[in-house]
Structure 1
Amino acid sequence: MSMEPAPPSVAPSPAAAPGPRLGLRANWRQFSLLVVVNGFVGAMVGMERSILPAIAEHEFELVAHTAILAFIVVFGLAKAVTNYFAGRFADDYGRKVVLVVGWLIATPVPFMLMWAPSWNWILLANVFLGVSQGLTWSTTVIMKIDLAGPKNRGTAMGINEFAGYFAVGAAALATGAIAANYGLRPQPFYLGVAFALAGLLLSVLVVRETRGHAHLEAALAPARGAPVVPSQGAIFWHTSVRDPNLSSISQAGLVNNLNDGMAWGLFPFVFAGAGMTLAQIGTLAAIYPAVWGVCQLATGALSDRIGRKGLIVAGMWVQAAGIAIIAFRSSFAWYAAGAVLLGIGTAMVYPTLLAAIGDVVNPLWRASTVGVYRFWRDLGYAIGALLAGVVADLYGVVSAVWLVAAITFLSGVIVAFRMREPGLP
């Protein structure tokens, strides 16, 4: 009988272990989970959308539109700056940790809004909200781009933005209804506590890291840029100014959120001035983001088939038409029609801009580029609210709305003349 020891059992080769795969079908579980998470991200913003201007007027007795819209200015600035760093942090430290930190920062927001003793507390709550949104929304965008791979980027962004902005509209409708029945505070913000808790628990317990998917895509497409990651300054300059596609995308994103900041801050005053009730204002505030959210399910996928540029140009012009209708007419039906057009136009633009970035940027520094784009895009909130507030105080609310409609139309003209159609995979 041989006394030689039995050969050791062979452990599975690391190469045989399942690694990341690209595509919506291969990653549908994690992708679907991130859709739900982004719904809670959007709902955190939506809970403010229909009632915060009313709180400013009725509880804190603010009169100047510039002062009232300051909450959007601080939100936009905080979110824009955080977006800038969120992309780089996601590249350097991973996506999941940035997502979880964003939810931790969101947790005090509903409590601050409920019990704020002064308007300064509302402003501080919106700083927290802006930082949180910059971290959480940026990360869910980046993670979905990672999972989808190059073939279905527009579809992925359409689904992502649908989840976020449909939730914005649903939360605005819900908080408007609660405020009409129970008062402006604290009851409407109970929803925010549930949103923050659900988003945090899902992100900590179930969401998985996706940075490996970006590395896989970069390895499969080595011709899309040198392997050396550029400096953050180089990425910022390239995205903001030098590259005609990326800079056109960045200015369109800025103007898109400029008009959204105006809509968020001034439309409730336009509607109230026309005799709309608080419940009607809540409904109108919900129509625009709800239409925006639902239509992105179609427009994101459509951009994968017909290209990006045409949808962006047409979308900016449709937005301008919707804003002009709201400025020109003064009935619930016309306001609803304008909100629908604004939602459709925004849906044509929003996922398409993000998909277009993925078309032209190396996956290894894609998150950083998305961060720069989202810096400019969400800076539009601050610029739009500040511009709208100043013009409204000087020349009236309707004049401010007309000005934003004109700026939105001009942005589409810039894209039409400067942007080239990115190559589709």
Structure 2
Amino acid sequence: MPNVPARCPTLLIAAPASGQGKTTVTAGLARLLVRRGWRVRVFKCGPDFLDPQWLALASGQPVDNLDLWLNGEQDVAARLYAAAAANDVILIEGVMGLFDGEPSAADLAMRWRIPVLAVVDAGAMVGTVGALAYGLRHYRPGLPWAGVLANRVASDGHAVMVQGAVASAPDGAQAAGWLGALPRQEAFALPERHLGLTAAAELPDALARLDAVADALAQTPLGQRDAADWAAWCVTLGAPPAAEPVPPLLRGRTVAVARDAAFGFLYPANLQTLADLGAEVVFFSPLANEALPPCDAVWLPGGYPELHAPALAAATHTRATLAAHVRAGRPVWAECGGMLALCDDITLTDGTQWPLWGLLPGRVRMQPQLAALGAQSWATPHGVLRGHTFHYSTLQTALAPAAHTRPARGFGRAEAVFRHGSIHASYFHAWFASSPTATAWLFGAEVE
């Protein structure tokens, strides 16, 4: 990597809290700029699988996650530098509220001097939008600032009043950076379910929704900024230190990855890590009852098996070929939803019970409330994998855990890691790049 700084207009889209419309605005803005012919690279702060699918649809490029704890500072720096060198604009969607989490989106903005756009849901307020915008801007001294965008305003008159409230803040309208308002419209809505947004691929009108948001943004001061205006938000990104090369510990091995609507929680960076390790990655769909492809190891990622329990119960061909793989002693890594599919059965929130694949002793029960959430690390015998946990189910099993993850925060709850024959399984979602050596071991490589 040449030691030449890269400059690129970069914007962090944040909010006072979750549910304000960050993903809608980020995806709509990316779509608007792509329609102008700009190369737009989008990132998502924190661990997330669903928002990046919408952002990838809008930008036409893969969306990586940026988290100072999960990735590490050097990895974040490398991804930003590479994006700046190859794109016209970088957009970063924040996580939760601007200052929520350790580290927070604000920490990311401060570290690389990235201007912050605050999206505020103005649907039930007027003057308080000014107070929120002022507080977000000044809570952390020296925070780079781009401006504020009001979301879900009820009318043109409402928008004018909100703009006046922002202008009446102590630092005035110009300093506050009024960047416009988006109306409340059903056409803009990105539907949700438990665990987050509905996957973009499940909605035939997903792109039309993003175009509707882009059209509305085009009428705002934010959407009317030209290339010279965006240049005011340029960030200079120095070339990070060269990362240690990833050893090709999986060279000559094939890793089969389940990928469909039931198993869609895949970090692009995880697939890249497998490729960097030398693995050939192939995909199969349990929902289509596809046979396991010829392979040396299997990855069953997380997703929504509970939404597809009847189809998974009927996937006898997938189950049989996976069982043969396990009998042969070949490794399987199953995380969260992937682990659930291996269990004996699942009881849904309405009490309906479905049989599953019966390759991991245990019974799953879905519940309406969140069971666990938070950053975790797993000290494997060959390195520490970082990741997170986020699930609405519980698992009853007679298996004794082979290990436990460690919460990154003192108040978190450790997750069990089970070993059953050649299967490793846990609610833990791993970020493979945090330890390529541990990842290679998990997929059967001989590691010293």
Question: TM range, normalised to the smaller chain?
Answer: under 0.3
More strand by share: 2
TM-score (ref. length: structure 1) = 0.24
More helix by share: 1
State the structure with bigger RCO (CA 8 A, min sep 6), 1 or 2: 1
TM-score (ref. length: structure 2) = 0.23
